[in-house]
């Protein structure tokens, strides 16, 4: 078997290194492929890989769109399996798509309104109760999230997003970030021509329950200011069993193999799915502790079974490679079995 590993925008990306180390540990042949190359299509066709491991950037909309387009060609037109799947990657760092998917599949999530015209957005703002949360479509760890506390503040941002006179004059809503402790404007992440609005739900904390293959993990994120996402302060507390059940249900409905489900626990005790992320990981070799023991849960014979161990090595990439190889082997076996069955039928 031979796997491809897609190179990201960074020359050195630890997630790519994690995939490389995982393949080396499992003695899997691999090649690093440059999706950004002018000859990317020929490079991938000549690679003769059985499948491709994907780690994409999602913080800049234009880069994310490029990935979505080229991954569609690789998977749907060339027929090369990718991991995570196209569907999972389409939802990754795409809050609009996540919202649509959760609505269709009746997943209890944070109420959301998405507008593509300034008139509709202002009509909504005039009747809204504040505070509200404005979010960008891309951006992890609360980087594109703002709490809006007044109608005046909301309309000021809407004029920047949609333009005052004409959409073509929109300069966009500029986000700010820190690099090496210095605050700077992230002009490359300017938000234009749409607005993503949610009510602010007072919450105690956020839970993250994740699944890779048949392994389930979970932890609690402490709040830092108004947000838990991106706080960098995990609490190794076992999530309520109902959140494992919810994550299992979401992954069964979506046929997801690699998915983290971020769930707000409101002050009144209600749970709301806040986000779905197919690419996630940690420098820690575990993402769950039960009775202070690292491990994972597996759902076996209608029971949740805890298995002790450090299953999240190499930023959880080792598990992904193992799961992908198993699925590719099963596909090969089933295809071979189907061909043998056809041969018997016509013999």
Q: Residue 248's pLDDT is what?
A: 98
Q: Residue 60's pLDDT is what?
A: 79
CA distance 329 to 14: 27
Model confidence over 215-239: pLDDT tens digits? 999 999 987 665 555 555 689 999 9
Q: Residue 258's pLDDT is what?
A: 97
Phi-psi region of 193 (alpha: psi -120 to 50; beta: other; left: phi over 0): left
- pLDDT for 90 beyond 50: yes
- 3-state SS assignment for residue 338: helix
What integer best gives the mean pLDDT of the chain? Answer: 88
Q: Residue 183's pLDDT is what?
A: 77
The more confidently predicted of residues 100 and 333 is 100
Give the CA diameter of the chain: 78
Structure-derived torsion over alpha carbons of residues 85, 233, 209, 82, reported in degrees to the nearest 10: 10
Q: Residue 169's pLDDT is what?
A: 78
Model confidence over 36-63: pLDDT tens digits? 889 999 999 999 999 999 988 777 788 8
Model confidence over 286-337: pLDDT tens digits? 999 999 999 999 999 999 999 999 999 999 999 999 999 999 999 755 654 4
CA distance 142 to 229: 6
CA 313 to the chain's CA centroid: 19
Q: Residue 252's pLDDT is what?
A: 98
- pTM, 2 dp: 0.88
Q: Which domains does the chain have, with CATH numbers?
A: 2-83 (3.40.50.20), 113-199 (3.30.1490.20), 202-315 (3.30.470.20)
* Token duo for residue 22: 């995982």
């Amino acid at each position: 078997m031979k796997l491809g590993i897609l190179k990201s925008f960074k020359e050195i990306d630890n997630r790519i290194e994690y995939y490389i180390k995982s393949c080396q540990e499992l003695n899997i042949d691999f090649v690093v492929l440059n999706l950004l190359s002018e000859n990317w299509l020929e490079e991938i066709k000549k690679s003769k890989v059985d499948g491709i491991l994907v780690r994409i950037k999602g913080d800049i909309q234009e880069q994310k769109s490029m990935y979505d387009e080229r991954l569609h060609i690789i998977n749907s037109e060339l027929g090369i399996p990718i991991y995570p799947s196209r569907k999972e990657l389409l939802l990754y760092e795409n809050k609009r798509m996540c919202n649509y998917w959760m609505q269709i599949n009746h997943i209890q999530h944070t109420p959301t309104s998405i507008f593509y015209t300034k008139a509709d957005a202002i009509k909504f703002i005039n009747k809204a109760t504040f505070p509200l949360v404005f979010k960008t479509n891309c951006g992890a760890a609360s980087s594109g999230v703002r709490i809006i506390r007044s109608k005046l503040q909301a309309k000021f941002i809407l004029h920047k997003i949609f333009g005052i006179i004409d959409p073509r004059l929109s300069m966009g809503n500029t986000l700010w970030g820190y690099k090496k402790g210095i605050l700077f404007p992230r002009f490359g992440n300017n938000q234009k021509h749409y607005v993503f609005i949610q009510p602010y739900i007072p919450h105690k904390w956020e839970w993250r329950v994740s699944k890779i293959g048949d392994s389930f993990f979970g932890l609690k994120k402490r709040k830092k200011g108004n947000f838990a996402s991106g706080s960098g302060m995990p609490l190794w507390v076992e999530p309520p069993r109902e959140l494992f059940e919810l994550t299992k249900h979401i992954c069964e409905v979506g046929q997801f193999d690699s998915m983290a489900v971020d769930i707000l626990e409101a002050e009144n005790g209600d749970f709301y799915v806040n986000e779905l992320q197919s690419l996630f990981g940690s420098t820690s070799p575990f993402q769950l502790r039960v009775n202070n023991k690292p491990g994972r849960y597996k759902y076996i014979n209608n029971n949740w079974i805890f298995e002790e161990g450090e299953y999240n090595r190499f930023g959880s990439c080792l598990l992904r490679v193992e799961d992908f190889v198993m699925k590719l082997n099963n596909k090969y076996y089933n295809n071979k079995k189907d061909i043998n069955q056809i041969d018997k039928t016509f013999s």
